Structure 1
Amino acid sequence: MRALNSIKAMPSYKVRIRQAALSIATLVALGGATISADATELYVDTETKQVFTVPGVNRVKLSEFEEVNAVVGKIPPEEVKALETKLRQKKKMDEAQAQEELTAALKPKKVWTDAISVRGYTQMRYAQPISGDRANLVSPGDIYLANNNGFGIRRARLTFFGDVSDHLYWYAQTEFNGSGTGGAVIRDSYADISFDDQKEHRVRAGVSKVPFGFEILQSSQNRLALDRADAVNSAARDERDMGVAYMWAPAEIRDRFRDLVRSGLKGTGDYGVLTAGVYNGQQLNKLELNDNLHAVARASYPFKLDSGQFVEVGV
């Protein structure tokens, strides 16, 4: 048998031989096979440092090795099948991950402007008293209910709203009837800042409806009556003011508040189960005239009965 290349240093040579032996032994162990009688034996000459495959004078046995093909052939079929199954599963997982990464890369990035929606509505009215003291007829917040009046645009509103981020909701509404001035005015302009992923706790800051009563919070789009009762409307002229309010409602109840509006049940919308805040008290679009703030608190809960009906109670 022809000798292998000579080794200059015995210690380093032994390390390399032992590493090779360990690698092959590991392969054999993983395959569940044992060394056969036909395994190749390696010997090293202590004087020349050469490696031989047959014993001889001054030759020390290193280890036994078996051909790779022989080892593979001895792996039990069930282990080969299990390994093939694992490889197929790994391939499917890699393909699925690659598809997800490709989809994410091709998906256009969503910017906050994509989340902003626009809507609006107009209400036209004909108002003409037919009896009584026409000259003294006045209704707070309704300039079209007066003597010598006729057709008019009671409301002409354009609304912008949406989630600017995961924790910031923006709402702005303009009124184009101008309250008789012929121009546009701000009707709402506020931001909801939430403190949790479910948006159960949030603070509303800006120009918004004063959380008082039911009629004030109910939108003019949903109310059956032509206008709010004067007694209720006089508590908060124009229903809105500048201030800050804290609102809390469980996620499930927030969805219920929204469903009461979407389903046409004339709900107030989501103003929280518990609400507390302060506001200027100077009506809509008016400057503050003193250092006194008005305070407000409200509690409301919409119960859903087994019959599918809703009962909302509040104070």
Structure 2
Amino acid sequence: MTKALVTGCAGFIGSHLTQRLLRDGATVIGIDGFLDNYDVAAKLRNLAEIGTHPAFTFHSAMIQANRWEEWLEGVDVVYHLAALPGVRSSWGTAFTDYVSHNILGTQSLLEACLKLPKPPVIVASSSSSVYGTMDGDKTDEQTPLRPISPYGVTKASMEQICQVYVKAFGLPVTMLRYFTVYGPRQRTDMAFHRFFRHLMKGETVSIYGDGQQSRDFTFVTDAVEANILAAQYADPGDIFNIGGDREFKLIDVLNLMGSLLNVSPKITYMADSAGDSKRTSADIRFATGKLGYKPRVALEEGLRLQLADLQAQDKG
């Protein structure tokens, strides 16, 4: 039986991954802490969704607690999703916290894994944050990294420290660059969650910029599948783009949300937000060829599922 460690297990992607592993028959050790910039109530709901599964052990702690000997005992595979999220909150003095969580926390995990029989370590990165604004056609993994926010700098640095441990010690670390993941349990500060909430209440939706910025959107179960595949088929040091089936303008997504609710969105346009990418578009050929990754949930279906989850929350 596989024993997995999932850092960030109570978060958006982490809770879905934990459930998938448990359904697949794995034993899961989950670690998560509670930070001011992540809705605590949302994390508690996510933990409730996971439930009291006999094969799941939860530790409420920050990874900086460095209880790795306890957490990693007997572990066969590590999924590292814990991070301090948020582009807009990473400026100024907060950058110190981002360095602590995203770079130093990751390095301490890698150091601890050296004491084990080299388990696969699957690390969550961020496409728009490490690539910056993307030009031309689809972006592949060889595209130079040009982060445009302090958060992006920490994610790019996290990837670099992972590569150092691959090259120096042969640690089997794989990095997944997610392209704008959405779906049920999405963080409450993220755009789709906020848009749906405003539309459901008949409120005006505020958009940074002119709404013409575009994204490659990835449904959460597709991101989870990428983690499972990477643990099986990736080689040490591999980096994979994990995206959806096509690129959409933000204004078109908002109108699609409105159609699902039978409302016409009322929109207020605000100034561009520093650190936000204008465009992301994933070239996923490497992940498709090596991992067999293929996005299976189209945007409209994924939005329906996210809306249904929000409506179910309201019904209690």
Interval of TM-score (by shorter of Structure 1 and Structure 2): under 0.3
TM-score for the superposition, normalised by structure 1: 0.24
- Greater RCO (CA < 8 Å, at least 6 residues apart): 2
TM-score normalised according to structure 2 size: 0.24
Structure number with higher strand proportion: 1
Q: Which protein shows a greater Rg?
A: 1
Q: Give the helix-richer structure, 1 or 2.
A: 2
